[in-house]
Amino acid sequence: MGLALRQVLSKLLATHHVFRVNGLLDSSVTPSVEPAVNNLPFGECPSSMPAQGTVDAKMQQLSLNDYHNQRFMVTVRGDAFGPSGNTYGNPVPHSNMHSTPMHVGRSHMARNETLLRITPINALNPYQTRWKIKARVTAKTDLKHFASARGPEKVFSFDLLDAQGGEVRAICFNLQADQYFELIEVGKVYLISKGLSKPAQNFNPLNTDYEILVDHRTSIEIYCGDESSFSMQHYNFRQIREIENMEIGDFVDLVGIVTSVGPSIIMKRKDGTEAKKRTLQLKDMSGRSVQIIFWGKFVDAEGKQLQLLSDSVSNPILALKGGRISDFSGRSVVTISSTQLKVNPDVPVAERLKQWYMAGGKIAPCVSLSQDVSSISRIYVHKTIAQIKYENLGRSDKPDLITVKAVISHVLADNFCYPACTLEFNGKRCNKKVTRNGDWTWYCGRCNESFENCEYRYLLMCQIMDHTSTTFATAFQEAGEAIVGYTAHELFIIRNVDQDEARFTEIMEAVLGRKYLFKLTIKEETFNSEQHVKANIVSVEKLDALDVSHHLLKQIDNSLNGVSCSAPKDALSYNPNVGGAGLGAGQGMQTSSHACGYTTGVGGAGPVCQ
């Protein structure tokens, strides 16, 4: 330590003041002394202070020349620090009061306790023990009781969102569950410190690596300050079509238009207990829809609200956070206790969805990811309509499953729907046709019960046509919605309640001329003692030339890499003019230089080997 500094400190110690060197700071900052509240800043010389407590300008200059890169913090009371920034050459006037000297170590400890900073949630990790987060509770589970080797236990969890967008789940067991269950409320902001950060469990739907285990050290208190920087919820929305490539059990955030809402039904679990269930259909701009299954508390809360809105010929928007992907009915999304639902949310994407739906999205073709369980994992073979007759499809014991590329040339609109039973039969929706009673209730012969309301479901007869022939096919509920763009219930109201025949005709005529990839089941049925081959539409998908081209090229590459040179089945009825305009009959366009090529032309498609 230099001579000039020792002289400065000696004179200061004579006045019973204590100084603490706070260490090297920014070299661009002039050395300064930070005063405590209600005490004299270093360098001030009031008449009431002894002369030895002053430092003249010459000594200040020596100190500056020797230690211009260091900054000093000065305290005359160990329990407080004044605002920094006062330099040697420019002292700030302060009150004229003496102070009691304190031990330097105690002042350092007090400062560390009072200046504990807020930790961003994204910075939490298992190696950090001293932290404090400030976050809003966005979700809270019920208090669950369970048995373990230690005896009866209880648990609940809640999700937190801070101002930086970080999310984390906090879990409370037993004593902590009793202590904090009533304190924690969704929507409130809390200060939470200490606790154990551990790797997040697989069933945690949040986008985070860790979760907090609340223990006896944890402190939780309500934050009463400004909450404007905290969002009410954070979403990571995915398009419905992405669910096709996600794993079963993954969690997903969705937002879409509710196109149909089913009734509340009672289901029996394997343990004999009962649970409420409600099913709805969600559609978005990706050209896909999916079944959303509500369980428990959501059935009578958001489920009932959505049903009322749908019954008033209004299509509400639903935002779902933390739904779990299920393989029920192909692909569906189910709620769990921590799932969050918001009807008509105030988010930008909701407004875009609304505008899209009103501008034509309502009638845009849509393929449902959810289907009848009996149709899952079946193999569909591509055929032309003419092949249905020539190959005697549907005449065997089992129905034939085929795909056909065709357009809708005619629709029988007079009897497009039927009143269906909404009751549960053998664990599945009944959906059988019901009849009117004399008291205007509905009766189901299958369930042998009467009830007030029914659901109108599609039974739409369409004539489809490709380049080889035509045939009639029947579209049921999901396929009918994908073709028409309205639910059968909505269309029934337009025609029979509103009696708007012009609008009904416009909707039905808009269906004509559209080209789809139809999935059909072909089977033989007996009607009026006569055998008829009947085609039912399982699903429809709007065709896009670019998608078809990519699909054909993929099929071609698969064939070229295989043992044989067989033609891709999907190419049999594909219009060869797409991507190959100007080719005449019998002419071909080679797509590969491999030994086995593939050609397409107006005259058809077939393999070619060089």
Long-range (24+ apart) CB contacts under 8 A made by 52-55 are 52/11, 52/14, 52/15, 53/11, 53/12, 53/14, 53/15, 53/17, 55/8, 55/11, 55/12
State which fold the 240-368 domain adopts.
OB fold (Dihydrolipoamide Acetyltransferase, E2P) (2.40.50)
CATH architecture of the domain covering 121-222: Beta Barrel (2.40)
pLDDT, tens digit, for every residue of 577-586?
Answer: 333 333 333 3
Helix (H, G, I), strand (E, B), or coil: what is residue 127?
Answer: coil
Q: Nearest 5°: CA angle at 95, between 90 and 98?
A: 110
* Residue 216 to residues 179, 304, 581, Cα–Cα distance (Å): 10, 41, 76
Where are the chain's structural domains?
A: 1-103, 121-222, 240-368, 373-416+459-542, 546-609
- Which segment, 133-147, 171-185, 553-567, is predicted with the most confidence on average? 171-185
Q: Is the pTM of this model over 0.85?
A: no
Q: What percent of the chain has pLDDT over 90?
A: 31
Query: pLDDT at position 585, please?
Result: 34
pLDDT, tens digit, for every residue of 88-147?
Answer: 333 434 334 344 343 334 334 334 434 458 899 888 888 887 899 999 998 888 898 988
pLDDT, tens digit, for every residue of 482-497?
Answer: 899 899 989 999 999 9
Cα torsion 130, 132, 137, 141 to 10°: value is 20
CATH superfamily of 373-416+459-542: Nucleic acid-binding proteins (2.40.50.140)
Lowest-pLDDT choice from 44-58, 206-220, 409-423, 512-526: 44-58
CA-based nearest residue to 233, from 342, 123, 352, 122: 342
- Two structure tokens written together for 115: 């200046």
Strand partners, 258: 282
Residue 220, φ and ψ in degrees, nearest 5:
-130, 125
Of residues 183 and 201, more confidently modeled:
183
Give the Cβ contact number of residue 539 at 10 Å.
Answer: 22
Query: pLDDT at position 12, please?
Result: 54
What whole-number distance in Å separates Cα of residue 466 and Cα of residue 477? 24
Q: pLDDT band at residue 562, thresholds of 50, 70 and 90?
A: low
Same fold, 240-368 and 373-416+459-542: yes
- 46 Cβ contact partners less than 8 Å away, ≥ 6 residues apart: 40, 96
pLDDT, tens digit, for every residue of 563-576?
Answer: 443 333 343 333 33
Is residue 62 within 8 Å of residue 88, measured between CB atoms? Answer: no
Give the burial string for 307-342 (b: 16+ CB within 10 Å, else e): bebbeeeebbbbbbbbbbbbebbbbbbbbebbbbbb
